[in-house]
Structures are given as C-alpha cells and as structure tokens.
A and B are shown apart, each in its own frame.
Chain A
Amino acid sequence: MISRLLRTVSNRRAFLGAGALLPLAPLVAGLGNSAAAGEHARVQTASTHAGNHTGDHAGGMTTVGTVDHARNGFDPYDMLTDWETGTLSRDDQGRPLRTFDITAVDVEIEIAPGIFFPAWTYNGRVPGPALRATEGEQLRINFINNGSHPHSLHFHGIHGASMDGVAGAGLVGPGEHFVYEFSAHPFGCHLYHCHAVPLKRHVHKGLYGAFIVDPDPALHPEHEDVARSRQLGALENQDWQELIMVMNGFDTNFDDENEIYAVNTVAHEYMKRPIKIDKDRPVRIYLINITEFDPINSFHIHGNFFDYYDHGTTLTPTSKTIDTVMQCQAQRGIIEMSFHDHEPGRYMFHAHQSEFAELGWMSFFEVA
C-alpha cells in the first residue's frame, strides 16, 4: 500500500500540514525545509548554468545543439530573403507571363536539433518556395507530384474553380502533373498549400508556402510611392529590409498537438542566429500563419511598434501602431516598422502564446 504514497498527490498538503501538530514534526519538516532553503541558490545556479550553455539571452529555455541545414537542403536564415520569382516571359497575347516550377517530394527534415520529421515538401523545403509576382501578371505553375500521396496547390488568390487545387480541380496523384494558370490578383501577402484530404495531415506535414503579389504602381496612382516601395526590384524598394516569415508547427508524435513551433520551420533558429537589422533602413515582414491544430498564432515585437496591413491587400495600414498581431490559420499580413531611433541591441520577437514561444517560436533581431 505504501507505493500509493508515491503516487497520490491530492491530499499531500493536508498531511504535511497535519505533521506540524505532532512532536515528530521537526524530523519531517527538516527534510522539507531544506527544500525551501535551497530555493534561492537553486534559481541562481540554474540561470548561471543556462548562461554557460546557450549564450546570454536564452536563460536556459532553448533547444540544445544545432541543426544541419546543409543536410536539410535549406537554411531558415537564407529563407528570410529567398524570393522565388520564376521566369518572366510574354504569353501569346503579349501579356507578362510568370512561370514557376514546383515539385512535391517526401523528405526527412531536421526541425530542431536532432529531431527528424518525415515531411511532405514543395521543392524539398518547408515552407515551400516564397513565390513573388506582380499584380496583373499571368501565372503558370507547373506542378509535379513526386510524393507518395496525392497533392495539390491551392492558392489563396483570385482564380477559377478549375484551378482551385481541390479534388477534381488540380488534385494530382503520385507521379502525375498539372499546370495551374490564373492571373495574379489581388495584390497582397498570400499563401498556397496542399488541399488534398485529410487536410490537417497534408498541411502539418509541410505542404505550404508564401505567395506574394506586389501591387502594380500604375494601378494605384493615389499611393504610387507606397506601391513602388512594395515592388521587388523597384528603386523605392531597395531601402526596405524585407523578410518572409511563415509561422508553422510540427506534430512529431502525431497526437494532433505540435511539439515544435517556429518561424520558417526550425525551432529557436533566430534565437541562436539573430536576424541582422540595419537600424537606418525600414523593416517589412510578410507574416503568414499556417500553424495546424491551434486556432491562432501571433507575432509580438519587443521595444517597438509597427503598422499592419491585414492580408497586405491595402496600401494604407489596417492597424496603426501595435506591437502584437493575431492571425488565425491562413491569415497573413504585412508588418512595417523602423528601428531608426532605437539603441542597438537584441530585440526579441515571438508568438505571444507563451506555449508556442517556449516550444520554439522565439527569435531575436540584432539591430545595429
């Protein structure tokens, strides 16, 4: 019966309390008190330890080790600015035509040091390539499914039913291919993902990516400067430090809860390698939430505020001067901010669900 002692918690306090009434109390209390006495020393030791292990800012709360990005074939740091612009040509009617090639392939990826996940990917990376086009262009996406299950590309954008990437409209069996064609509308910060069923499995296995449509300045005379600053390659765009951040998660033990949360897949990566920011140039973040299983995700910046363009479909902010923004799954938007007047240093940003932050969605800007 005594082993029940080892497991029963509910009435523990009652017993410890009752102990104080009895002459034996000093004995057992002695064992208990040493716990209380150890408290201060312990907390200090713990943080000192952690400091030694993981650098100044983690406080012990971190994954341990490093991910082999070369083995993965993609590096979250490079992904921040890795735009896939495809190839630009003219279609038979003389309109600009942008062509992308995407192949679905099963790859095992390292999502935190030492944790390997059997992912389904677009072009071997999670998130898939960050497609970038300009408003009004004709888009042609050649999709080959080299994976083991049927997959598709379902774009969040304006297109016809036959190009929707659902069953009967561009769902592609293993070894087959399909060409999606539509024009780039509306401008904004969008995404694409697989729409094969079961949806949850196909999404959390890694089949998603950013789909950014830059506004065509000629179509927005009232905010031409803003539109120009958004257009990749335009002179007004050069000054901006543009970053793509896809908030995602991984359910490694398939219990419908994520063991890993991250921006661009690898847990704590930007905590270990802070993102370098030039304080004199403005920052624009294309933020997309594709986290499965949890209703929302969020972005919170320390020591600063930003303007936010929900879905990126406007040229004036939908929220001004906020430091936290919440997104449901597939919601996305553009964050614009400046560190111009800030002292240099590390500025933390993370999900303001502490749970997500502590499971990997924790990052730093290194402002200089």
Chain B
Amino acid sequence: MQFIESIRHLVGTIIEQFPIVFPALNEGFLQTLKLFVITLVGALPLGLIISFGSMAKFKPISLITRVLVWIVRGSPLMLQLMIIYYLPGLVGRNIWGGGEQGRFIAACIAFILNYACYFSEIYRGGIQGVPVGQQEAGQVLGMTKKQVFFKVTLLQMVKRIVPPMSNEIITLVKDTSLARIIALQEVIWAGSAFMKSSHGIQGQIWPLFFTGVYYLAFCGILTLLFGYIERKLSYFE
C-alpha cells in the first residue's frame, strides 16, 4: 500500500514539474546532438585517412599510425577529454578559454580523434575484407588502380562496414555523456542538476532517470535508419 502511495506521489510530482524540466533537458540534449553530429562529420573522413595510414606500404607511416591508434584506443576517452582540455593551460596558456564554447570545441576534438581511430579499424577491415579476386578482375578489365579502389573496393567496403559502424555510432550516442567531466552541459548534466537545485526545483532524481528516454528514442531512430541503409545496400545478393 505504501508502495502504491509513493508511486502516486511521484507521478503527481512529475506531472507538476514536467513543464519546467522538459525544456531544460531539451536544451541539454541539443548539446548532446551537436556533439554527436560534429563528431560524425569529423571522424568519418578522418577515420578513412587514418585507415590509409595504417595500411600504407611505407613502413614508418603505418607504424606511426598504428601507435596513434593504439594510444587513442588504449586509453579511456574520459582521460583524453581531461588531457585535451586541461593540459594546455597547465603547461602554458589555456587555449580553450573557460566558457562553454571552449569546452565544447575541446570535447569535439577529443571525440573526433577517438572515434576516427575506431572507425579507421572498421574501414581497414572493410577494405581488406574485399576479396583480392575483385581487384584482379578490375585490373584484367583494364581499370587503373584509382578506378579499382573507387569503383570496386570502396563500393563493397561500404556495405560490409554498415553493421560494425552502426554499432560504433550507437555507442557514440551514449559516450557523449562523458563530456560532462569537462563540464560540458549535455543532457545527463542537465538532468542531474535537478538533484541539487535547478530552475527552482530542488532534490529531484526523476529528471536524471528521464534522460534515458532521450537516448532510447534517439538510438531507436538510428537503428531504424541503419536497417534501412542495410536493406538499400543489399544489392549483389
């Protein structure tokens, strides 16, 4: 009985506070979305460049690239965020400024670098997974190396990498919450602000739990989108 009573109380509180909490969370989620989109726009092409680097025939380049990938993949993103944001100021001059914009730019750079390294390995797998016979067939048909890459390899790579890429991109949605370590005010930050006091509401935990709805909805949309892309790319079968 007490349980039912407390649920009723909670629902009442949520209904009452929702008009205040909802816009605040939306504002936070906008930051999450911005970070997500900018990371993708930066990391998708950069990842391809890094994958070329790690596949380069010229040994020093491939070695150096692989070391970079090892460092970035081998250390926590949270640590990378803190190093990128705080280190310049600690050793010399703070290049980011203290405001929200500087924190956002620093977060974007950390996320782009981090995700480009993960993407590069997916690209590498996709490119190396295309059977050699395909390239040979292209050569036999008199295509140049460039033509073989863009018209034969790249095309088949794209459809191979959709499942692992969608996995990584969905992880990115949730990883954006790590940016709060450098005080980027994304949706989790906005939600947990209500645990202390924010917008005149004190000591409420439900807004933080409610942020989960945003992630679920957004990941749901992405899942549908990737399913659609996969179906569109299912030619040759």
A binds B: no
Q: Could you list which residues of chain A lie within 8 angstroms of chain B, going by C-beta atoms?
A: none
